[in-house]
A and B are shown apart, each in its own frame.
Chain A
Amino acid sequence: MKANPNPTPPRWATRLLQWCCAPHLIEEVQGDLQEEFDYQLKRAGETKARIDYVRNVFGFIRPFAMKRKNPPTNLLTMSMLKHYAVVALRNVIRQKSFSTINIIGLALGMTCCLFIFLWVKDEKAIDNFHANGKKLYCIYQTTTSGGKVDGIYSTPYGLIYQSLNFKKREDAEAVGLDDIKSFVPEAEKMCAYATGYELPWGHSETFQVGEKIQKFDGSRAGKDFFTMFSYPLIAGDANAALHDISSIAISRKMARFFFSSPQEAIGKSIRYENRIDFVVNAVFENVPARSSLTFDFLINWDSQMKQLEGASPYVLTMLQLKESADPAQVETKLNRFLQTRQDKNDPEKVTVGLWRYGDRYLNSAFVNGKPAEGRMIYLRIFSGVAAFILVIACINFMNLATARATKRAKEVGVRKVVGSSRFNLTMQFFGESFLLSFLALGVSVGLMQILLPVFNTVTGKHVESPIATPSYWIVLCSLMLITGFVAGSYPALYLSALNPARILKGTLRFANSAIWFRKGLVVFQFTLSIALVIATIVVSDQTHFIQNANLGYDRENLVYLTMEGEMNPKYAVFKEMALKKPGIAMVDRSTEMPHAMGFVVDETDGLKNTNTGDDAINWDGKGKNGSVGFKPASVGFDFIKIMNLKVAEGRDFSRAFATDSADAFMVNEEAVKQMGMKDPIGKWISAWNKKGHIIGILKDYHTNTLRETIKPLIIDVKEYEYFGVVIVKLEAGKTKEGLASLEALCKEINPNYPFAFQFLDQEYDKLYRNEKVITKLTNIFAVLGIAISCLGLLGLVMFAAEQRTKEFGIRKVLGATVANIVNLLSKEFLVLIVFSFLIAAPLAGYFMNKWLLGFAYKINLSWWVFASAGTSAVLIALITISIQAFQSAVVNPVKSLKSE
């Protein structure tokens, strides 16, 4: 090896040293190492010197020589902290109006966030309280027919239960768990729950013990229900609760009504609909509000199939899987099993899937036959909006703080000169924003306590004051920290970066960028607020529209009575007597509630069983694969009159035609269109095993909410069906008398059933509960958004006016009018508002259009929606600005010019 004429230490070692040695030590250490290297070089040669050098370098990678921050000068002593607190408080107190604006704004924003947090938490808790929660799945069904894919959580008649005898509906027997286990070994438990007995499709059912009669809402469930789900039992055994067809489980409320105590109820019999006696096997705690299933009693599912007529097609099938089970595999196995049971030639394909039971409530919608967002979207939107409101409030803080920067610049300059580091200043300003956000938090916690009842009425929830829950305090703290941080970040970074020399010399000019930033933030605030206002107008408008739309029938003064007990056999008598009583105008009947017909025959919505039997609807000229989903109903002769429906073609049902009760059908225009019939009057059609002729065409009317398009409708006359409702039309203005006569009559005809009624228009309104909540929430949000933005604007105008006091004074001396000055101040800000509107309008338009797509019948997004939102925003802003502008414009110039 050739000797290096001028040997140097290994370069990598030097680098290593430079990288990790403290900067204030590096020079001497490196010097010493170099000297030592040279010394060793002379004494022991290059190799030894190099090795020695490396050893030395490693020797210096020690704590005492390591690179670290410059030795901290300890400024955060107690006295310094005290000083900061004093300065912060002084600032808050001296600038009363600005502090109030900030605190009110932040408090409102925080309250918003808190409420939304409560709401989201409550929504997410729904169905997620079961101990087995992680193992519980519900089966959903996807049907594919003619390229159309639909999904539903219901599995008709318990698809899986029944698919063992898929083709023979008559002897439908529930399949035991053992059968399921034979093809899905991962299944631990399984049960059905009939959602079809819940409102609005179902109705309350009557129970009797001794003399006590009362109606309760309840349902049917499989026998494993109480062992799978955590509905705590007060008395009785979970395994035995629904073990045979005579068992019934009742709620504490129901037990208290009929029996002295829950324990007392066990083993007692209870009469159902005056027909069957059930034995109380269990009493459960009243179903909590966080359960999406609500029931006061549960009857064994088998009992429904064996003892009771007719079954609701709406059944949830729930599976409890083993801990280790993979839901995807279970899905495959279920489908494989199902495939063997399906008719290969059926154009309709049914597959099933598993969805976590706890997610069912929030994932209420289906996209491409799979559960999708549904309610979850609203949670997201409102969380987002609440966050935006808070951001708007934070922007107020930022804007006011930076606008007032000139006032505090001197302070910053002096602090810097005296030795405050940038870090200290940043911390100081953050501290101040934390102080404000802390004060705001106090206000908002108070506000929340006060407003909680209002919140509960608006959302229809029963949220209790969360003051005692730790998670609430965590949210509070994080909310305060986030708010303080967001609000304080810009002022803290901006003010701490000022150059002290220039501040103190007085040559400091705020860069245009700061002004632009402020303007940008104002635009951002108002864009959000105006977008919220537009959303509010659209949502309220749409809600108003669907609630008051012409449905094609009269919904005033109509009362439903359930067809039960003696009502059906004595219907004719009832009708005759009722018409003689005061206050009653008309009486008729229907198998379905006309305002919310849910049942659909022959459609590909999974009501599989109706497709194969003789129930299918057939008509003159029906093609082979033509499948039209019909909404069927059997009604009385006066149905068309009582509902005030319009007949488009042909004639109404009439007693004058002897054939009408056996042969006549009426359909709506949509049905004619979908069937593809020409000259439909007189053509034959068959339904429910009954062949007849079309006698008339009804004008289309809404048989359900306006979310749904009008579906084909088929009605016939059957004044003997044992189920459905009696429809009574009360005379306008005589509601009280009408109801009194009805009650008296019902007591007479139907003594074993309590008198209960529903108003059609009220029931119809209930279908729009969701929309109402959303309307109220958007209203609140829009008001808050605008209010907070205007607060901020007010602050900025106040500041601008304050700064230009002298200018205005001089202007006035030279002859400017009040109007001139108001104009001068307002123009600058109004331009920003108009600009925000230009951004907000298309943005809001896009999103509201998307929202409206969820409705089959909707309002148009017309120009006036935007125009009114824009003008109202501009007006409100203008008023806000003018108040301040006017104040500073009327000031006597002598005062403002003498102010030094």
Chain B
Amino acid sequence: MKRVYLGEFEELVLLIVALLESDAYGVKITHEIIQQTHRSVRLNQVHASLHRLEEKGMITSKMSDPTPERGGRRKRIFTITALGQHTLVEMKAVRAHLWNLLPASMKMIAG
């Protein structure tokens, strides 16, 4: 199978989806990213990213029950797929491997 690569922002979103477990949806993810990384992120960016991740098969989604705070509208809840998890793990492994190869001076700065 063709390998699918993730962008930096996509990886972040995917991580957040995994982190939020069964409560990952648009606004929540956005707020979580802002809180955790202090980046200024907009809703539409997150939506676009989720859209792409779903296309790539990293996450799946289903509609939740209607909630009153959204004017009776349903949320789209995203959950990470096995492929998504696998990809994350693989990416982490690649990074760890690369970190190991770094010269000592760099490792010092990184703490």
Write out the residue numbers on chain A whose beta carbons fall within 8 Å of the beta carbon of B73.
27-28, 30-31, 34
Q: Tell me whether B69 and A28 are in contact (CB under 8 A).
A: no
The B26-60 residues at the A interface (CB cut-off 8 A) are 26-27, 30-31, 42-45, 47-48, 51-52
Report if A56 contacts B (CB, 8 A): yes
Bound complex: CA A29 to CA B45 (Å): 12
Assuming the A-B contacts A27-B74, A28-B75, A30-B73, are A36 and B48 also in contact, with contact meaning beta carbons closer than 8 angstroms in the complex? no
Bound complex: CA A56 to CA B63 (Å): 22
Q: Tell me whether B42 and A56 are in contact (CB under 8 A).
A: yes
Write out the residue numbers on chain B whose beta carbons fall within 8 Å of the beta carbon of A31.
26, 67, 70-71, 73-75
Write out the residue numbers on chain A whose beta carbons fall within 8 Å of the beta carbon of B76.
27-28
Bound complex: CA A32 to CA B26 (Å): 6
The A411-448 residues at the B interface (CB cut-off 8 A) are none
Looking at the assembled complex, report how far the CB atom of B60 sits from the nearest CB atom of chain A, in whole angstroms.
Answer: 14
B66 nearest CB neighbor, chain A only: A31
Q: Tell me whether B25 and A33 are in contact (CB under 8 A).
A: no
Report if A343 contacts B (CB, 8 A): no
Report if A83 contacts B (CB, 8 A): no
Stretch at the interface among A59-67, A230-238, A504-512: A59-67
Write out the residue numbers on chain B whose beta carbons fall within 8 Å of the beta carbon of A34.
69-71, 73
Write out the residue numbers on chain B whose beta carbons fall within 8 Å of the beta carbon of A64.
47-48, 51-52
Bound complex: CA A38 to CA B42 (Å): 16
How many of A's residues come within 8 Å of B, CB to CB?
20
Q: Tell me whether B44 and A35 are in contact (CB under 8 A).
A: no
Q: Tell me whether A56 and B43 are in contact (CB under 8 A).
A: yes
Report if A688 contacts B (CB, 8 A): no
Bound complex: CA A59 to CA B25 (Å): 17
Q: Tell me whether B25 and A32 are in contact (CB under 8 A).
A: yes
Write out the residue numbers on chain A whose beta carbons fall within 8 Å of the beta carbon of B30.
36
Bound complex: CA A64 to CA B27 (Å): 18
Bound complex: CA A36 to CA B42 (Å): 10
Bound complex: CA A55 to CA B45 (Å): 12
Bound complex: CA A33 to CA B44 (Å): 10
Write out the residue numbers on chain A whose beta carbons fall within 8 Å of the beta carbon of B63.
27-28
Bound complex: CA A25 to CA B52 (Å): 14
Write out the residue numbers on chain B whose beta carbons fall within 8 Å of the beta carbon of A27.
63, 73-74, 76
A29 nearest CB neighbor, chain B only: B47
Q: Tell me whether A35 and B47 are in contact (CB under 8 A).
A: no
B55 nearest CB neighbor, chain A only: A64
Report if A39 contacts B (CB, 8 A): yes
Write out the residue numbers on chain B whose beta carbons fall within 8 Å of the beta carbon of A36.
27, 30, 43
B46 nearest CB neighbor, chain A only: A32
Looking at the assembled complex, report how far the CB atom of B91 sits from the nearest CB atom of chain A, in whole angstroms.
Answer: 24
Write out the residue numbers on chain B whose beta carbons fall within 8 Å of the beta carbon of A25.
47
Q: Tell me whether B44 and A65 are in contact (CB under 8 A).
A: yes
Given A32-B43, A59-B45, 15 more pairs with CB closer than 8 A: A27-B73, A27-B74, A28-B74, A30-B71, A30-B73, A32-B27, A34-B73, A35-B70, A56-B43, A59-B42, A59-B43, A60-B43, A60-B47, A64-B51, A65-B51
Enumerate 19 A-B pairs (CB-CB under 8 Å) in ascending A order.
A27-B74, A28-B25, A28-B73, A29-B47, A32-B43, A32-B47, A32-B70, A32-B75, A33-B43, A34-B71, A35-B26, A36-B27, A39-B31, A56-B44, A59-B45, A60-B43, A64-B51, A65-B48, A65-B51
Query: 7 shortest A-B CB distances, which residue pairs?
Result: A59-B44, A32-B26, A31-B73, A28-B76, A31-B70, A35-B27, A32-B27
